[in-house]
Chains A and B, each alone.
Chain A
Amino acid sequence: MFIIKLALKSLLNRKFTVALTIFSIAISITLLLGVERIRIGLENSFSNTISGTDLVVGARTGDEQLLLSTVFHIGMVSNNISWHSYEDIAANELIDWTIPISMGDSHEGFSVIGTNEDYFTHYQFANKQHLQFQEGKAFHETFDAVLGADVAASHEYKIGDEIVINHGSGDIAFHDHGDKPFHVTGILQRTGTPVDQTIHVSLEGIEAIHIDWVDGMPDKHMHFSAEEVEHLHLEPEYITAFLVGLKNRTDVLTVQRQINTNKSEPLTAVMPGITLQRLWNMMGKIETALLIVSGFVAIAGLIGMLVALLTGVNERRREMAILRSVGASPLKIFGLISSESIVITMWGIAMGIAFVFLLLQLAKPILETQYGIYLNPSGISLQEIYIIGTVIILGILIGIIPGYKIYKYSLLDGMTVKM
């Protein structure tokens, strides 16, 4: 049809402006979808800070508090779990594996946790990824330590380096365990989770550095050297928390109830995924802020398009007067201008989508390794379809504005276009 041919020729004639307009729309779409992808990625990564773990168990406390302290090392639980209770529960036949965790010490602001080698086999994060070693291996000896990626990077620690653990958390140490230094045996690969900021040692190691301490202070009367302590019985009396993996995920509620109603001591078992989601929702402001930013980006893009289209309107009144004179109805002229705008919007959107996928593909390795943000690898989400749909509708509505202006002019402009 002639009108369509005309629209295309006119677009071609203004290819520079048209390309810029398409580009500006593409950029806003890219930002809008990119921000949305990253937002979802952040949420997913947060919810999957720990994954594959069915229950996190600690002494009786609030769900969020337990999770914040065990997974994020934020705050402390005041009570411990006795080793006996732990062993009792771990023997439950519904349970596949457990990872004991003992916390309370730190090194240069990084938390130190005591655990066992199961940690490296069963601990999972993100999409059920296991921990991996950049260098070295898990701890075997009492004074071996495995560092998270950030810990190693911050002081350029290498395998074999010695580190001294401080008693308590925080940067300022009142007492340290300088008499019993640890040796780095392994450095973990970056996970983008709090594991990166953690030093892992064996439970025996934690026990060994505290065996000659009383009430959080070195005992004035008793002292064992690092060599002597190796020969002592180093089974801990208490641990802070433990992670549970079930043989069958469907048993999770049963096991949770069993633990929560445990007779020998009051315990709390939480499902980490649900609690993490709840924590994320508590931080919902981040999400709202990101959404608002994306919204403004889109509005800016569409206003840019409107400006570009309206600048064209005056230049094109002459053209419209000519078309009117050969019998084109105002409605046809409206259609011509609007369809041009719509073509521009569609191209902008298509290009924006292409950009976003390209950029995310390029950014993916960096986001994953540096920030622990795992983007949804699958196609377009429903949310994104909504966004694209909204932009298409807004684009069409905005495309109609210059069409309508020209329509109104074309009802009046006849033989002369007064400009």
Chain B
Amino acid sequence: MNNSIIQIQNLKFNWDKSKVPFIIIPELEVLKSEHLLIKGDSGSGKTTFLNLISGVLPLSSGEIKILGENLVDVSSSKRDAIRANHMGVIFQMFNLIPYLSVIENVLIPIHFSEVKKNKIRAKGIGPKEEAIRLLTELGLQQKEIHEKKVTELSVGQQQRVAAARALIGSPEIILADEPTSALDENNSMRFLDLLLEECKKNNSTLLYVSHDSRIHQKFQQSISIHDFTEDMPIAEKTKKEAVVCS
């Protein structure tokens, strides 16, 4: 069966290779259209973990397979291509390029990926219509917003534009790194619901980082990456790390 989107084996990472790794994941599999919540204290390595999956950071040991392709084996330009073609990313903040309009920001991924472009074409519409469709579904239907300067948007609106950019071209994997931490509770929930709904429609796999435990029940799977202190014995670390629950 090939429903597996992300497969991780024996992943260990530390910035300084000579030190004990702070991210240790013996095994993790994320299936197609599965929604995974990643929890962990501040500084525990959640962002770093997403960077490893997206291929921005090269990993030091273990393996990560994305759609069957092992990131360890491929060149960095191939990792860039995998990210461009199969992933969409939402950051915590500063998601948008300030000198581009809302629509232009949403369309950025199209310029870096023929795969995404072709997926839109297969739907029989153009990239711009697709961008408008996504923005509308995310609650940004007003025409004047589309041509606005992104600096004139509220933070919540900016995050929805970022979501549209991540979703355009229906990538298999959406990585979201605490995208609601700058939003109030109501908006956070609304944002998350919209994102989950869009991911479902696209059959996208979602990796969602948050330290808000209340959203737990909205995800099929969750892992927590713990914050280990340097002086803890390794044995204890391995026991505590990467608890996978369902």
Contacts and interface: CB of A to CB of B under 8 A. Distances in A.
Given A12-B99, A13-B98, A416-B47, A326 B84 contact: yes
Interface string B102-133: 00000011011100000000000000000000
Which secondary structure dominates chain A's binding surface? helix
Given A13-B99, A416-B91, A325 B83 contact: yes
Contacts of B91: 321-322, 325, 415-416
Contact of B97 (A322, A324, A412, A416): A322
B112 A322 contact: no
B14 to A, nearest CB: 14
Contacts of B84: 326-328
A377 B94 CA distance: 55
A260 interface: no
A327 B47 contact: no
Contact of A327 (B80, B95, B100): B80
Given A327-B80, A414-B51, A416-B92, A9 B99 contact: yes
A415 B50 contact: yes
A319 B91 CA distance: 12
Contact of B85 (A327, A328, A415, A417): A327
A390 interface: no
Contacts of B57: 412, 414
A414 B95 CA distance: 12
B177 interface: yes
Contacts of A327: 80-81, 83-85, 109, 112-113
Contacts of B108: 322-323, 326
Nearest to A317: B94
A329 interface: yes
A377 B83 CA distance: 59
A414 B56 contact: yes
A275 interface: no
Contacts, number: 76
Contacts of A323: 108
B54 A414 contact: yes
Contact of A10 (B47, B96, B99, B177): B99
Nearest to B95: A322
B56 A2 contact: no
Contacts of B154: none
Nearest to A410: B56
B117 to A, nearest CB: 12
Interface centre among A9, A319, A326 (most CB of B within 10 A): A326
Interface centre among A2, A6, A12, A414 (most CB of B within 10 A): A414
A10 B99 CA distance: 6
A318 interface: yes
Given A12-B99, A326-B113, 5 more contacts: A10-B99, A322-B91, A326-B165, A327-B80, A415-B54
Q: Which 10 A-B pairs have the closest CB atoms?
A: A327-B84, A414-B51, A13-B99, A2-B111, A325-B89, A414-B56, A327-B112, A415-B177, A318-B94, A326-B109
Interface of B: 47-48, 50-51, 54, 56-57, 76-77, 80-81, 83-85, 89, 91-92, 94-100, 108-109, 111-113, 165, 175, 177
